[in-house]
Amino acid sequence: MSSDVIRANVEVHSRMVEVYAKEPHFRPENQAKVRGILADLRTRAKGGKLLDLGCGTGFIINLARDLFDEIHGLDVTPAMLEKIDTSRGNITLHNTNAERLPFGDGVFDVVTGYAFLHHLEDFRPVLREAFRVLKPGGLFTGSDSTMSFRFRLYHIMDTCVPIDPPKFEARLQNAGFVDAHVEALPNYRTFKFNARKPS
Ligand SMILES: C[S@@+](CC[C@H](N)C(=O)[O-])C[C@H]1O[C@@H](n2cnc3c(N)ncnc32)[C@H](O)[C@@H]1O
């Protein structure tokens, strides 16, 4: 990804930090829903090691902190990471680009990416990296917004490459994943996905 795209991401997200908790996905009812998804993931995962890509101010990390033994959050924007409380001791933060993950192969039981993939010029390298760092049988899951006029306008100063849900299943398969499932949620103009690295 070009350094301009990264720079734009950092600039925009640094400006949003103080008001970020007002974003719609922080509504209590959505948090309860995502918490349920994470709890279910933990029961299906073989172990308790989670990586959250584009973790921002810790939306997923905060919902997962008592469910998983070891959580790694990764983001290019330092100001977002600074908002995350790591005092519990099971959370490690990495200020870096998700296109080249600073981990060896087969390390994580679960990788998540929430409201993150549309910020990438090309999400395919990140799918490949998520696949690489997962253990055999590891789970990849997340959610993102789909294209709308409002969404595009909202990202006028930023990179915004919304994903086309019907094509995303094939993209996950191209990266090596199996059991890829993509569900469009037109009422919310979002979709969610999950996939597994073969055992
Ligand atoms: C819309 S925010 C979502 C944050 C969090 N996942 C949430 O749901 O609240 C997108 C985040 O992705 C980060 N980001 C954008 N491009 C990235 C990249 N190439 N690698 C890592 N993080 C990136 C931004 O800095 C930002 O914090």
Query: If DSSP codes are grouped into helix, strand and coil, which group holds residue 1?
Result: coil
**Ligand 1 pocket, 84 CB below 6 A?**
no
Residue 181 has pLDDT above 80, yes or no: yes
DSSP 157-175: TS------HHHHHHHHHHT
Average pLDDT over residues 22-30: 94
Of the candidates 152, 148, 147, 104, which has an alpha carbon nearest to the alpha carbon of residue 129? 104
Nearest ligand 1 atom to the CA of 59 is 9
Provide the CATH number for the domain around residue 57: 3.40.50.150
Q: How far is the CA of 121 from the centre of ligand 1 (A)?
A: 13
pLDDT per residue as tens digits for the range 129-180:
999 999 999 999 999 987 666 666 666 666 777 888 899 999 999 999 999 9
**Ligand 1 pocket, 113 CB below 6 A?**
no
For strands 49-53 and 70-75, give the pairing: parallel
Determine the pLDDT at residue 1: 57
Determine the pLDDT at residue 151: 60
Nearest-CA residue for ligand 1 atom 9 is: 59
Domain hosting residue 148, numbered range: 3-196
d(CA 59, CA 116): 12
Residue 123 has pLDDT above 70, yes or no: yes
Q: How far is the CA of 137 from the centre of ligand 1 (A)?
A: 25
**Ligand 1 pocket, 13 CB below 6 A?**
yes
d(CA 192, CA 25): 13
**Ligand 1 pocket, 114 CB below 6 A?**
yes
- Is residue 59 within 8 A of residue 25, CB to CB? The reply is yes
Average pLDDT over residues 19-31: 94
Determine the pLDDT at residue 80: 98
Residue pointed to by tokens 């870096």: 96
Determine the pLDDT at residue 48: 98
Overall number of domains in the chain: 1
Q: Best mutation site among 10, 116, 120, 163 for ligand 1, i.e. most ligand atoms within 8 A of its Cβ?
A: 116
Determine the pLDDT at residue 153: 65
- Is residue 167 within 8 A of residue 174, CB to CB? The reply is no
pLDDT per residue as tens digits for the range 57-113:
999 999 999 999 999 999 999 999 999 999 999 999 999 999 999 999 999 999 999
Determine the pLDDT at residue 154: 63
Query: If DSSP codes are grouped into helix, strand and coil, which group holds residue 109?
Result: strand
Determine the pLDDT at residue 156: 63
